[in-house]
Structure 1
């Protein structure tokens, strides 16, 4: 699932900031970006991420700055500034130039304003606290998307259930019609319906009835839909993987229905079922 999390923790004279992003991916891939002074904590941070998530690509970036550095006066190299000012005055005097160099001009020269020194590495405790808070925020974001995803998946699953009911209604009418068509064809082939072997005809009709009967498929399909609806909205571990297996079973039942349904209306329903199932597969890949 996609999501974003952020947290900031103050630790002594340091400000620790963490940002985490997640995007959809079938397995789990973790990427961690740390400042050099925290490189030794990378494995601990990876372990914390893996404890919480089992799917998706998680990118976490952590930065450390001196607390309040944004409001502090910029460090000035006055010795260098003085030498540059003297050199500017000497050049002006030697060449007979008017005016001198201003403070603003000096600030623009390289080396006058020094970069702030890198803050000391904070203790592990505040760093892990910041990471945990950031991941908590990421989880809330992912959960919000998960709820929306569950609602969308429920719509597709409910639609498949409704289509299954339509199949049952169609077959209830189609089977007797198929029987009658077979009886008529046999009569025409023999030329005299009185010569039809009723016992043999009944045997053939029994075979046809078994071939056209979709009650078991519809019953199993209904069970799979019900189980998938429960998984789509649950916090069960590995719900995404289990949902993937259920969708495979749904695919088998729908394929069997497609082989048994002989009417154009039935065929179109199966096509629509497969379309709904295709959407479900894409969404199930985002469920953890």
Structure 2
């Protein structure tokens, strides 16, 4: 089944004393491009996340957002700078005595000075945290892939319908082509006879030359190759593997064959069909741009 490059997944969980949020979203892109946003102290997780999701997401511009909040356990440790606190208290007492102040010194007075405390983040157990994050990431990734598959299924249905329609159009061209070749041959034969104006010439030679030139308007080789391309198209979209780049190449080959038919065609009906085929090719091309 095909996958779209457009997707979104979100999971949130409270586990191991932490609230973890993971969001994944993607849009079309020619290659794979990962933009991972995490809190600064979780920077060590960026490369792990990139490697982990790359096996499931092979193409698209992917944004991944991770946020971790600690609930039950403190992630910061506060330390008292005793020497600074002692000096600060001594100065406060000196201030009181020097100016005859009546208020006594309280804990609030001392705590108001930010220099007496230092805050340090408690080091995380990186491997344990990664295992916890990975569980939530799996959930978001599952939702993300499911959305891509649903969108891919809709695209695949549309592609199949268009390819079937193009098969019908090419069959019409194939059936019309022999008549077109005959009409061209007859006109060319009459034109040659007119130019020769009754001069004696080998009739077999005339017919041979007519056949050679008439073959230049035959499109049976192109219709056979188009049939082969359509079969390959079906094989690719049902392979279960990333198909976007392969289909993009194949649609170029299909377009080349249709252009060749258009340049050879000397018949108004075939010319009209070629215009319709080109319109379908453009619609296919637009849809293929959305495929992983």
Instruction: Bin the TM-score by the shorter chain.
Output: 0.7 to 0.9
Partner of 1:126: 132
Alignment root-mean-square deviation, CA: 2.3
Q: Tell me the distance in 2 between the aligned counterparts of 1:266 and 1:208.
A: 19
How far apart are residue 187 of structure 1 and its match? 2.3
Instruction: Give the SS at the match of 2:65.
Output: strand
1:162 aligns with 2:197: no
5 Å-filtered alignment, 1:82-121, equals none
Partner of 1:213: 218
- Given the alignment, which residue of 3, 7, 10 partners 1:3? 7
How far apart are residue 119 of structure 1 and its match? 10
Measured at CA, do residues 196 and 180 of structure 1 come closer, stay the same or move farther in structure 2, by a change above 3 Å?
farther
Q: Tell me the distance in 1 between the aligned counterparts of 2:269 and 2:122.
A: 72
Deviations 1:146-195 (A, max 9, x none): 00011111122112211101111221221111111112212222333x73
Is the Cα–Cα contact under 8 Å of residues 66 and 119 in structure 1 kept in the other structure?
no
Q: Tell me the distance in 1 between the aligned counterparts of 2:180 and 2:146.
A: 51
Partner of 1:257: 261
1:142 aligns with 2:148: yes
Instruction: Give the SS at the match of 2:55.
Output: helix
Q: Tell me the distance in 1 between the aligned counterparts of 2:238 and 2:29.
A: 19
Instruction: Give the SS at the match of 2:29.
Output: coil
Q: TM-score, normalised by structure 2?
A: 0.75
TM superposition outliers: structure 1 runs of 4+ over 4 Å: 118-122
Is the Cα–Cα contact under 8 Å of residues 64 and 119 in structure 1 kept in the other structure?
no
- Given the alignment, which residue of 65, 72, 79 partners 1:61? 65
Is the Cα–Cα contact under 8 Å of residues 187 and 196 in structure 1 kept in the other structure?
no
Structure 2 unaligned spans of 5+: 73-120
Q: Tell me the distance in 1 between the aligned counterparts of 2:273 and 2:56.
A: 41
Q: TM-score, normalised by structure 1?
A: 0.76
1:241 aligns with 2:245: yes
How far apart are residue 212 of structure 1 and its match? 2.1
Instruction: Give the SS at the match of 2:58.
Output: coil
Partner of 1:88: none
Instruction: Give the SS at the match of 1:199.
Output: helix
1:282 aligns with 2:292: no
Measured at CA, do residues 21 and 35 of structure 1 come closer, stay the same or move farther in structure 2, by a change above 3 Å?
same
